[in-house]
Amino acid sequence: MKTKFCIASTLLLMSVAFLSCDSKESNEVDPVLKNQFVIDETITPIKGLMVSFQKSTSDKATNSNDIAYPLDIYLYGSQPYFQDLSNQNFKMLEDSAPMIHFKLYTSANGKLDLGNYIWDRNSTEAGNCALAWQSTNFLEHTVLPDNKMISKYELVYVSKPKLRINKVGDELYEFIFDAIDYNGAPISGYYKGRINLTLISSQD
């Protein structure tokens, strides 16, 4: 009788332990994706995202008769510096904040096409990512002609970026990306939020 009681007790304890583990696993929640990009294990929270385009700018698509329009995405870790804020078109100093930049081609001027973007430096087809870089390595402080002191960052080009853009609400977008920069550092990132669509002047 004592032996049967020990066996029954052992089985009961095993059942409780199994149910506890199963319950713990079922209650685990996947970690929430954060608005940040990671470069070689260095995390930079994303403070904002700007989508910019240039007025009446289009390029003939490489392999078709379609017209593709360049559109730039900037995910920045601190507020970049802008010039000529009083003008309709204004200019951003691209090396004035830690950020990641993607130059895309889309199907209409100022339109953010959804889906996956393909990396091809020689193509201007809509849905293509032709250029990307990151600037997280601080270089120096510098004083501009208007006596404004800003930070300067090193621009490092990025190879073979993978970028997906989803729309997850009336005004909410989701950006998921990964790449490797020219120094061999892995890059990954995520952003969910509203976008700031901005008409911006040429960078030259």
Radius of gyration of the chain (CA): 24
Q: List the domain boundaries for the chain.
A: 1-29, 31-199
pLDDT of 54 reads: 74
Count of Cβ atoms closer than 10 Å to residue 53 Cβ: 21
What pTM did the predictor assign?
A: 0.75
Q: Count Cα neighbours of 190 within 13 Å in the Cβ-side half-sphere.
A: 6
Per-residue pLDDT of the chain (204 residues; tens, 9 = 90+): 544 434 344 433 333 333 334 434 434 434 568 999 999 999 999 998 888 887 655 555 455 556 788 999 999 999 888 776 555 555 778 888 999 999 999 998 888 999 999 999 888 889 999 999 999 999 999 998 878 888 999 999 999 999 999 999 888 999 999 999 999 999 999 999 988 777 765 444
Give the burial class of 58: count Cβ atoms within 10 A of its Cβ; 0-12 exposed, 13-18 middle, 19 or more buried.
middle
State how far the Cα of 7 lies from the Cα of 11, in Å rounded to an integer.
6
**Which run of H or E residues covers position 12?**
helix 2-27
